[in-house]
Chain A
Amino acid sequence: MSTQRDQLDQLENEAIHIFREVVGELERPVVLFSGGKDSVVLLHLAAKAFWPGRIPFPVMHVDTGHNFPEVLEFRDRTVARLGLRLVVASVQDYIDDGRLAERADGTRNPLQTVPLLDGIVENRFDAVFGGARRDEEKARAKERVVSLRDEFGAWDPRNQRPELWNLYNPRHRPGEHVRVFPLSNWTELDIWRYIERENIELPSLYYAHEREVFQRSGMLLAVGPHSQPGEKDVIERRVVRYRTVGDMSCTGAVASQAASVAAVIAEVASTTITERGATRADDRISEAAMEDRKKEGYF
């Protein structure tokens, strides 16, 4: 057990160091906050980094409009508890006024890029903290901790800055910004062990609960306003939980009895499928789905 504790301490120290370094060098940071477990841990670490002051920057939520209601409620409560300013970049607004068109499959995760980039420009944010982890996905495995984005928000994986020792370099030209990933070296299991150790509250849907679901492409989708079953789909009541939260129309639940953090840790430790493979329809589109979205400026 001491090994795990040492490792969590190591990861926590590293993340706090990254937060302080970037906030020390840049003018207008922001942290992306969706209410998902990684962004909750990220915010917890930011609060530790600047204790006993409040977190010295706002949070931004790129809102697909396809939210789980309990996650939105959790978002607002967390932001209020920490005394932070919330900036919402709304995909729905873009669809309503015609700047974005709804996709044929109805999912909205890929539509988040434009509101995100516009939100960064409008607020003149120069550092955007995100909760992405390198263990999530192959394109993310290539990401630096501090990663330069040009004025189009684009990531150029072939021309990344070398990142040496712990000497992070967030400098950039006007119009450019950096994405910063303090959780780069955390795994899904580290996140859960840290949530347990720090007693961090999460939206309730991360734990086993009963819900009306239907099967689609091998995933269990919740019945809700943004994810309607087709005529042939069979609706069943199952005990499920979510491994990731996002657009309700393409984020699947997994059958699980894990109702506590300890039970989730046991489940994650013995799982045979990655969290994105299990629950994200949008990452299954092609081998390079994430890379393509990242190059366009997605988180």
Chain B
Amino acid sequence: MSQIPLPTRTIAGPTGLLRLATAGSVDDGKSTLVGRLLHDSKNVLADQWDAVERVSRERGFTGADLALLTDGLRAEREQGITIDVAYRYFSTGTRNFVLADCPGHVQYTRNTVTGASTSDVIIVLIDVRTGVVEQTRRHLAVAALLRVPHVIVVVNKIDLVNHDRGRFAEVDAQVRQFCDGLGIHQVHTLPVSALNGDNVVEKSDNTSWYEGPSLLELLGTLEPAITDADAPFRFSVQYVLRPQSAAIDQAHVEYRGLAGRVESGTVRPGDEVVVLPSGRRTRIAGIDTATAELESAGAGQSVALRLADDLDVARGDVVAGAEEPPEAVREVDAMVCWLAEVPLRSRQRVLFKHGSRTVPAIVTDLHGRLELSTLEPETADAFDLNDIGRISIRLSQPVPVEDYGKSRSGGSFILIDPQSGGTLAAGMAKLEKNGSGVAVPKLTIEWEI
């Protein structure tokens, strides 16, 4: 493990839950890789394995078809393809993993964006024989756009080129060149045969020229997305707790607390805060959970905040640290991944959901679509399913949207169809004027028009 060139912060290695997303084109062997990872790390139970062996025999396979471990839907097994994102849980003793297995056909961007939006690591599969293809570019662009902290490219089917070092080096160079253009400067590439298990859990003798870790070894060293305790405090109000006669006991009849989640930073009793969009200031009187009153709460914690003053606060409001509060805005510039069958056109009316607030909005401009082969913008009158592009949106009410490059939670939003309620797009806000000199890692896909 010592040869792995990775910035590990702790000597013992990171622990806790790591969220992974896998992405690959049809026939890249992704389900086989996931099946192999689960099987070789001993996360498949006897009855699951019996079922795989039985069905493989019935289908006339000579060995067990590992893809059957993950392809859960009837149509998937019949057609030998993966249809929808599947979530898998596995453990290595020191670490637990949640894996979002994102299929690579038809609704590929939609699935990859879904999986990548909550992931710490994205694993992109490439067939070593074909190298980087359009789907690979799309998956890597999504990884860059969503700022997935770690990118791993598995160069699969290395057995089909006789474990050739030269061919791996060619594909590796293609990957690095494209990633550089996207602003992904640290990418891990591995030669793998998911079918035979080369470099999945154990290092393989077939690729003795490869000096890096196996996939599982590599995953064991990666840090989850950094939740910075010193980031500015943000809290989305989800629900106002005012139990009155429905209180669990007499002592809490008059209780009033703001139920929600700390999106970023840390909060302590006594902290000065501002409630947005009203802009009213107050102090934190207390932080409660059902079991204890807390001395502080950090990112990801679901708590209830008591405020020192009886302000008018409702679901959808944001409580922010008074030192660096976000600005509530009516105009938002953003990159979006269009995820609906019906195309997006200029002047379209949508609902805009950010944190716990949903407001009516109008898409005022389509600035252009990202052409993935060149990573250049091209003009477009409409965005179709799977398109990635830049738009402007006008909101009916001010919302404290932040730059996605500064804050994943403050800058992410979804667009919703007001009629059907369906989710139309994943959005990442881009705020130049509120940037206040903070360096955002350069991304070619954040082009200027």
Contact = CB atoms under 8 A, between A and B. Distances in A.
Do these two chains interact?
yes
Nearest to A271: B45
Contacts of A173: 419-421
Nearest to A10: B17
A52 B255 contact: yes
A187 B89 contact: yes
B88 interface: yes
Interface string A28-64: 0000000000000000000111111110100000000
A7 to B, nearest CB: 5
B290 A167 contact: no
B241 A287 contact: no
Interface string A1-27: 011001101101110110011011100
A189 to B, nearest CB: 8
Given A271-B45, A287-B51, A158 B413 contact: no
B238 A167 contact: no
A21 B356 contact: yes
A288 B71 CA distance: 11
A3 B10 CA distance: 14
A51 B87 CA distance: 31
B248 A158 contact: no
What is the interface of chain B mostly: helix, strand, loop, or mixed?
Answer: mixed
A263 interface: no
B261 interface: yes
B289 A48 contact: yes
Interface residues of A, number: 60
A53 B421 contact: no
Contacts of A167: 353-355, 412-414
A172 interface: yes
A47 B290 contact: yes
Contacts of B409: 165-166
Interface string A138-157: 11011000001000000001
B15 interface: yes
Contacts of A49: 259, 302
Contacts of B420: 173
Interface in B315-372: 315, 339, 351, 353-356, 358
Given A6-B16, A17-B261, A24-B238, A142 B47 contact: no
Given A165-B408, A185-B98, A274-B45, A134 B87 contact: yes
Contact of B302 (A13, A25, A54, A138): A13
A111 interface: no
A164 B412 contact: yes
A244 to B, nearest CB: 14
Contacts of B356: 21, 24
Contact of B414 (A3, A164, A291): A164
A297 to B, nearest CB: 17
B74 interface: yes
A24 B84 contact: no
Contacts of B17: 6-7, 10
A23 B16 contact: no
A226 to B, nearest CB: 25
B270 interface: no
A16 B297 CA distance: 15
B72 to A, nearest CB: 3
B351 to A, nearest CB: 8
Nearest to B426: A164
A98 interface: no
Contacts of B128: none
A176 to B, nearest CB: 8
Nearest to B261: A17
Contact of B247 (A53, A142, A148, A278): A53
B241 A21 contact: no
B84 A17 contact: no
B114 interface: yes
Nearest to B248: A52
B3 interface: no
Nearest to A12: B302
Q: Which of A9, A137, A164, A292 lies at the interface centre, i.e. has the most chain B CB atoms within 10 A of its CB?
A: A164
A184 interface: yes
Given A24-B239, A167-B413, A272-B46, A162 B110 contact: yes
Nearest to A286: B74
Given A48-B290, A165-B409, A10 B88 contact: no
Interface string B252-267: 1001000111000000
B16 A185 contact: no
B421 A52 contact: no
A142 B241 contact: no
Nearest to A189: B91
A224 interface: no
Contacts of A291: 72-74
Given A24-B238, A171-B416, A16 B89 contact: no
Given A142-B85, A164-B113, A187-B89, A17 B248 contact: no
Interface in B203-235: none
B421 A20 contact: no
B259 A7 contact: no
Contacts of A104: none
B61 to A, nearest CB: 15
Contacts of B413: 167
Contact of A142 (B55, B86, B290): B86
B421 A169 contact: yes
Q: Which of A10, A53, A166, A173 lies at the interface centre, i.e. has the most chain B CB atoms within 10 A of its CB?
A: A53
B16 to A, nearest CB: 5
A85 interface: no
Nearest to B315: A24
B268 interface: no
Contacts of A196: none
B243 interface: yes
A13 B17 CA distance: 14
* Shortest beta-carbon contacts, A-B, top 7: A138-B72, A171-B421, A53-B243, A277-B47, A52-B252, A51-B290, A16-B302
6 contacts: A3-B15, A6-B17, A17-B302, A48-B290, A185-B87, A273-B45
